[in-house]
A and B are shown apart, each in its own frame.
Chain A
C-alpha cells in the first residue's frame, strides 16, 4: 500500500473555453496528515479537489487516492467532502442532511443513526439538529456540513474553505475539530485562503498559483527555511566582538544582532562571546517566516517569473 493517501503524478484541467485551471499539478498527501492547499482566488484550489472527487473531469490525470486510481467512484465511500459554499436543501433538518449524505455513501440506517448522534455532539449541533436548515446561520450550516462529511467514517476528508462565513469562536472550534480528525487517524485536505488558520493546523502545505504548485513541503521546514535568530543586548559591543560578528556575516543594528541560521547550535559561539565580554543579553528569539510571508513571497516570485517568460517570448 502506498504511504500516500493522495498521490497525484500529474493533474491537468483545461476548460472548454481554453482556460487552463490546472497546469500539470503533482503532489503527495501522506496518510494521517493535515494538508493545506493555499493560493489566491482563482488559483485552481477548488478545481483540484473537484477533480480528485470526480465532480470535474480532468483533462489529464495520473495518480492514486487510497491506492486506487483517481476517478474510481467506489473509493469515494471512504472519502468525506465539505464543498465551498455548501448548500443544503432547506426542506431538510440538520439531522436529515447528515442522513441523506449517509444514504448516498451506502451507510445503513442503523449505523448512521448512532454515528449521527456522535457527530452532532462533536460539531455542537445536537440541540438544533431537528430544526429546518433554513433557520440556520452560516456557521451552523458549516457545522452540519462538516458532520455530513464525516458520516461515512472517511479515511480522507476534503474541506474546501471550511471556515468561510464562520465567526471567530466557530473558527477556533473548526480548528480543534480538524486537529481531532488527525488524532482519529484521518487524512485531512484543507483548501483555504486563510493562511494563519492553515499554518495552525496543517502539517504540510502546497502553494498553488495560476494552476501550478509553486512550493510544497512540511510547514515546519518551509517556515524554518531562511530562519533568523535575533539577540538583543544592553550597552555597547566591544570592538573585537563587533569585528568578529561582521566576519560571521551577522547584522548589527543598534541593540540587536541578527543572524541567519538553520539551527540554534550555530548561535552558541556568539552567546559564549557575548557572555565572555560581559554583555548583558536581554532577549534571544528565533524569527521564522510566517506562512503568509512565504506565500506572498512565492506568489510574487511566480508572477515575476511568468512576466519574464512572457517578456522573453515577445
Chain B
C-alpha cells in the first residue's frame, strides 16, 4: 500500500505551532499517500488535535508549510480547504444540534454545490441535495434516523453523523479526529467496519486512542510525542519500535496487545 513513488496527497513540512511556552507542534513533517489509511497516535497532549486543526485551517501554524494535492494551502481558511477536498470530523461532536440529521448532511452537500446566495427556493426540497444526503446517511447506517433532530440522537449515532457530514463534502482526504471516542464496544466495532469500507474510496488520516482499531485499520502509523514525530512506519514495525514502546510506558500494553 505504502507506495513511496506516488505523489503525496498531503505533505507537511517543518510545521511549528506554539502556545505560549509550549510547542504543540514541533518541526513536524509527514506525508500522506493517496489511498492509504494513515493513523496518527501518541500519548495525551502529543498535539494530535492541534495538528489536525492546522491541516484543516482552524489553527494557523507559526511556521512551516502544508501542501494538499500539490498546492500550498498553509494560509488558506478552512472553508477554502474544505472546497479543495479536505474534510474533517471533530473529536468533540460538533454538529448543528437543532437541525435534523439529514439537514446537517444536506448542508454539507450544499456547501460543495455552488454558492448559497439563493434566497427564494426551498432548500429542503432540492432533490439532488437531499438524495446526496440520504445516500451519505445510508452509508453510515443512519438511513432510518434522517429526520431526527441531532440533540435527540445517541452519542454513537452522532459520531456516525459526523462521518456522514464529512462524506457528503465528497472529500479527497478525510481527517478523522477520534471517531471512536466515547463509543461502546458494539458501536466501536460498527465504526471499525464502516471505516474499513470507507478506506476503499477515500484517503484517511485517523487520529485515534483505540489501539485495537488503529492496528486493525492503518496502512501506516505516525507516532507523535510532544508535537514531534518519533516514528512513521507500517503497524508491525511500529509495534516493535523501541522509542514508541518507551513513549507509551504505562500504556505499553495497549501497543503490544496484539503480539
A-B complex is real: no
A: residues with CB less than 8 A from B are none
